[in-house]
Structure 1
Amino acid sequence: MYDYGLGTLSQYGLNAERSARTRGALLCYTEQGILILREFHGSEKKLKKQQELLLLLQGNGINTDYFLENTQGSLISQSKDEQMFTLQHWYEGQECSTRSREDILKSVGTLAKLHNVMKMEPAEEYRARSLREEYIRHNREIRKIRKFIRQKGASGVFEKNFLSSVEGFLQRGELALEMLEETDYDSLREKAWKEGTVCHGAYNQHNVLMLRKGEAVTNFGNWCFDIQMADLYHFMRKILEKYSWDLTLGKEMLTEYHRIRPVSYQEWQNLKVRFTYPEKYWKLANYYYSHKKVWISGKNVEKLENLINQKEIWEKFIQNCFQKYFLNAHTELAECGEKP
């Protein structure tokens, strides 16, 4: 009987009193507490680097899902049917609730603490793609999809909504690229590279667990060397979309992060650029283009409609939230020649 790698626990000298399926993994209740068993398909070299990062965070008092070594001293174990698995420490807790402002602000504060610690010797193979390259490629893809739908004809609701909205969103994409060129992005990226600053890569509500005491951060598989505003933007965008781009909440999140890990004026500008780019619009369009077009899920139609309906408040949020640098970091402002 298929046991999802449960038999590999013997390679760690452990037994599971009980187990339970969770999202893409198996929770194991053992004498060492709760552990999580996952099938592994990645690079062992990057996994070792990830473990280095996780232990660095653990050593600085931040709870993470660090890996266990098996009795052979390896982070990867092979089951009888030759599947590869990893075993990690896990925690009893609930995911960050997007309905709780307290959970949201705690998660932002935890991210700031992570960023204060997450620095390693840079390795080129784990460096994130340039934001400039991404925006150029994404804008090109949006134009390509526009041309494709125009040529074949818009037969469905998704395609019709896309064609009716694409010019406005593409304009925002071009604007973000122009704004990026007007900022000190290259020097900011180079500074982050020299300092070896690391991003979680997928920091969202699902990867932050609220414990009885403190929080735990999980799923670092997408970590990379990059400007850490990428993480902050990713988390904030996910939350603010659910709150119809609530300006007060946006400022509270920025203020909480800045309280623990100060945001420089250059980083502030970079955040503004990231918020300006229509990332979710591109993702929906790209998903449509790269999958079967005979049937488009109602969920994706709804997501596109929501994006179109929220476009005006999204633009107003960017204008009002980033109208001026309000974080009162006089030192950083002076360095940039700006006034608060």
Structure 2
Amino acid sequence: MYDRGLSVLEQYGLESTAVYRGRGALICQTDQGLVLIKEFCGTPKKLEYQACLLSCIGEKSQVLSDEILPNQEGAYISADKDNISYVVKRWYEGKECDTRSEGDIYRGITAMADLHRVMQLPVQAHYVRQPLTTEFARHNAELRKIRKFVSAKRKKNEFELAFLDTIRRFLGHGEEALKHLEASEYTQLYENTIARGLVCHGEFNQHNVLMLHEKNAEKATAVTNFDKWGFDVQMADLYQFMRKILEKQDWDISLGKSMIQAYEEIRPISKMEKENLKIRFAYPEKYWKLANYYYTHNKAWISKKNLEKLNRLANQEERWRNFVESL
């Protein structure tokens, strides 16, 4: 099973000299450099737009990306002998962004800002992200539904008891964030963003930012895995990356402000975007994710890791709220 998908390289005129595993993919050394082979489960149309987006990045940005390679027939999707579809991407040798390294963090932030300056496409309605108001309202409704379900249980485990002990506070934060969002200028910001065709990466986290160290060359940064791209307010990317980092750094206010400053040195943030960024941070997204994971998975056995995560969120609540107010 190790070489599954490897045969598609023939369709690109490439021959591998070494192969090793990546995240759900094969990384191959070829005579034309590193490439990644990954099974493809999306739609051909969106992949074509993604290829256009990455081409635009290659032309206008200093940040490297995982360019999608066409095969010898000019197609971006190649099927192997078992008729399984694959894509082949240009790849890079480097390490993932270290969430404990301020140098890596700032390189990731500046790479994002540089990408946001150039990530723009003609609008395709099918790839427009739903409004944040819709998302917040749905998540709040799901939290209320989960609270009702857990409250009705006669015998409750540790996770369920901890959830009931915290749900009132965190749901309150969620409802407050939705009220602020509805009272803000978000609708105007969202509509202006879509009209301009601004694009988000969609999954901008430390795993998709590679720090490249090439001999006798300046350090370079590569951003990969644009599969979840879409038309949306670009603060969604900034919020997602910052939240992942700040949760691990115990909501360090100084670090958070420095990250925003580093972003603004490349790509200024408007007043409406700053307001939207603060509201995104005010929503208890991680809490909703934990609750939703519990509700949609096997409830007969609850992972201790998830209980630890819930307790950590409760312990970090004050520092999280202080960070939100600092914005």
TM-score range with shorter-chain normalisation? over 0.9
Describe how 1:66-105 pairs up with structure 2 within 5 A: 66-105=67-106
Q: Contact 1:15 / 1:31 at 8 angstroms: preserved in 2? A: yes
Deviation at 1:156, TM superposition (A): 1.1
1:207-257, Cα deviation, whole Å (9 max, x unpaired): 000112210000000000000000000000000000000000000000000
Cα offset for 1:153? Answer: 3.3
Is contact 1:40-1:86 (8 Å) kept?
Answer: yes
Counterpart CA distance in 1 for 2:258 and 2:155 is 42
Superposed structure 1 runs of 4+ greater than 4 Å apart: none
Describe the shift of the 1:258–1:2 C-alpha distance in structure 2 as closer, same or farther (beyond 3 A): closer
Q: Deviations over 1:81-130 (max 9, x none)?
A: 11111000000111111110011011101100000000111111000111
Partner of 2:4: 4
Q: What is aligned with 1:329?
A: none
- The answer to whether the 8 A contact 1:154-1:160 is kept is no
Number of the residue aligned with 1:24? 24
In structure 2, relative to structure 1, the CA distance for the partners of 1:312 and 1:2 (3 Å cut) is closer
CA RMSD of aligned residues (A): 0.9
2:20 match: secondary structure: strand
Aligned runs of 1:274-313 on 2, under 5 Å?
A: 274-313=280-319
Measured against aligned partners, the alpha-carbon deviations of 1:116-166 in whole angstroms (never above 9, x if no partner) come to: 000111111000111000011000000000000011135211111000000
Tell me the residue number matched to 2:139.
138
Alpha-carbon contact 1:284-1:304 (below 8 Å) kept: yes
Q: Using the aligned pairs only, state the percent identity.
A: 51
TM-score (norm 1): 0.93
What does residue 227 of structure 1 align with?
Answer: 233
Residue 50, structure 1, aligned to residue 56, structure 2 = no
Aligned residue among 210, 214, 238 for 2:244: 238
Structure 2: distance between partners of 1:70 and 1:120: 24
Within 1, Cα distance between the matches of 2:153 and 2:67?
A: 50
Aligned residue pair count: 321
Q: Partner letter of residue 321 of structure 2?
A: E
Q: Aligned partner of 2:128: which letter?
A: R
TM-score by length of structure 2 reads: 0.97
Report deviation, 1:4: 1.2
Kept in 2, the 8 Å contact 1:272–1:318? The answer is yes
- Distance in 1 of aligned mates of 2:7 and 2:143: 47
Matches of 2:290 and 2:297 in 1, distance apart? 11
SS at match of 1:260: coil
| Cα distance in 1, alignment partners of residues 123 and 308 from structure 2 | 41
| TM alignment of 1:161-172, pairs within 5 A | 161-172=162-173
- Partner in structure 2 of residue 15 of structure 1: 15
Deviation at 1:23, TM superposition (A): 1.1
In 2, distance between residues paired with 1:276 and 1:99? 23
Say if 1:32 and 1:154 are closer, same or farther in 2 by CA, change over 3 A.
farther
In structure 1, runs of 5+ residues without a counterpart are 323-340
Instruction: Please point out which of 250, 263, 268 is paired with 1:262.
Output: 268
Aligned equivalents of 2:45, 2:22: Cα separation in 1: 26
Distance 2:306 2:36 in 1: 32
Q: Could you tell me which residue of structure 1 aligns to residue 216 of structure 2?
A: none
- Indicate the residue corresponding to 1:119 in structure 2: 120
